[in-house]
Amino acid sequence: MTRNPGNRRRAAGWLLLPVLLAGCTAGTGAEVDATGAPAGAQSPSPSATGADGSAGESAAAGAQDLQDAYQRVIAQVLPSVVEIRTSSGLGSGVVLDDDGNIVTNAHVVGQETEFQVTFATSPTPYRGTLVGTYPENDLAVVNVRGVPELRPAELGDSDAVEVGDLVLAMGNPLGLSASVTDGIVSATGRTVTEPPSEAVPAGAVLPGTIQTSAAINPGNSGGALVDLDGQVVGIPTLAATNASQGGNAPAPGIGFAIPSNTVADVAEQLVRDGEVTSTNRAALGVTVTTLADPSGRPAGAGVVAVEPGGGAEAAGIRPGDVVTAVDGRPVDSAAGLSTVLADLEVGDTVDVTVLRDGDEQVLSVTLGELPAG
Q: Which residues are catalytic?
A: 107, 138, 221
DSSP state letters, 35-71: TSSBTTPPPPPHHHH-TT-HHHHHHHHHHHHHHHHHH
Residue 81 identity: V
Nearest Cα to Cα of residue 169 among 209, 212, 203:
212
Cα–Cα dist 77/151, whole Å: 8
Cα separation of 107 and 134, whole Å?
10
Report angle CA 107, 97, 144 to the nearest 5 degrees.
60
Residue 154 amino acid letter: E
Cα 257 to Cα 154: distance, rounded to the nearest angstrom = 16
d(CA 103, CA 184): 23
3-state helix, strand, coil in the chain (%, to 5): 20, 40, 40
**SS3 call for 284:** coil
